[in-house]
Amino acid sequence: MIRALVLMNIKRGLVPAMAKQLAEMDEVVDVYSVTGPYDLVAIIQSAEYERLAEIVTEKLQGLEEIEQTTTLMAFRNYKFTL
């Protein structure tokens, strides 16, 4: 599986609602509220790069609550737990 970490800036006051909405998406593995320059980090997973691109560039960026994203592609997982 291919994973991407999407760092997001969310409109003020909408972080909890946006986190819940993201958590309901099938492609979203995890959602974290974080400190620092971003509000949320979502881990997105797909079997294909093309589908991952659609999720980030169309599905996520189409949400008005999300003001800005930075996407990091994951190369390798060094720790896997169930």
Q: Are 1 and 65 in contact (CB under 8 A)?
A: no
**Is 70's pLDDT higher than 80?**
yes
Amino acid at 72: L
Q: Are 39 and 15 in contact (CB under 8 A)?
A: yes
pLDDT 10s digits, 23-49: 999 999 999 999 999 999 999 999 999
- With CA atoms as reference, report the closest residue to 68 among 9, 16, 14: 9
Kindly state the average pLDDT of the residues 9-26.
Answer: 97
Check residue 82 and give its pLDDT: 63
Strands (E), 1-82: 2-10, 28-33, 40-46, 66-73
CATH of 2-73, picked from 3.40.50.300, 3.30.70.920, 3.10.310.30, 3.30.300.30, is 3.30.70.920
Q: How confident is the model at residue 50 (pLDDT cuts 50, 70, 90)?
A: very high
